[in-house]
A and B are shown apart, each in its own frame.
Chain A
């Protein structure tokens, strides 16, 4: 069935270090993969997406890597800041199913000052 899962439920890093959040997915019939950030009491916020025919995309301080061979997605955050503390979700978009988005379980990132 459709499932997108995360390897680690929690990640603690020191301020200024780089963070890597991993995600495994099982269904290869998606069009996009998307990372969301959810802060306490708020809805998920779009961070970055990557089309399924790409293997890397960079944004501001964030990089997403896609390895379709092993069905693995990662989010790298450079120079992690306290404001990056949140739960991060990977999600798989099925464009031919009306844009349905299936979310992974989430990883909580804690940044220590």
Chain B
């Protein structure tokens, strides 16, 4: 167990629907990062939050949004889903004050859009 918890582990939904993925960071970590992993794109950075505020944005579609709550858990909202949104979605957390800058990743949510 990495300490980063993601729910649900699997999600199957239809095109046009909206889903919410949830992430609880490792205790003490203030930063949360979301990544999308598909077969042909590798790990793509979507967005980062630090202590409730958006810190950096990557290749995140306008149909996607995220937020980080006061208890530091984060949610990634995916709407108007398309078949191409099927992927693994990973959350990672980190604390810049740690000596190592390696992120700690959760085990991911596998989203299948049918």
Contacts and interface: CB of A to CB of B under 8 A. Distances in A.
A41 B109 CA distance: 10
B31 A103 contact: no
Interface residues of A, number: 25
Contacts of B101: 31-32, 34, 49, 93, 95, 99
B23 to A, nearest CB: 11
B112 interface: no
B108 interface: yes
Interface string A76-113: 00000000000001010101011111111110000000
A100 B48 contact: yes
B45 interface: yes
Contact of A98 (B56, B100, B105, B108): B56
Interface string B12-54: 0000000000000000000101010000001111001010000
A43 B105 contact: yes
Interface of B: 2, 4, 31, 33, 35, 42-45, 48, 50, 55-56, 58, 90, 92, 94, 96, 100-108
B42 A102 contact: no
A62 to B, nearest CB: 13
Contacts of A61: none
Given A43-B106, A89-B43, 4 more contacts: A49-B101, A99-B48, A101-B103, A103-B35
Contacts, number: 69
Contacts of B102: 34, 36, 46, 49
29 contacts: A32-B101, A34-B102, A41-B107, A42-B107, A43-B2, A43-B4, A43-B106, A43-B107, A43-B108, A44-B90, A44-B103, A44-B105, A45-B2, A46-B103, A49-B100, A91-B43, A97-B56, A98-B56, A99-B55, A99-B56, A99-B101, A100-B45, A100-B56, A101-B92, A103-B35, A103-B42, A103-B45, A105-B42, A106-B43
Contacts of B50: 98
Determine which residue in A45, A89, A99, A103 has the highest number of CB atoms from chain B within 10 A of its CB, and name it.
Answer: A99
Nearest to A48: B102
Contacts of A46: 100, 102-104
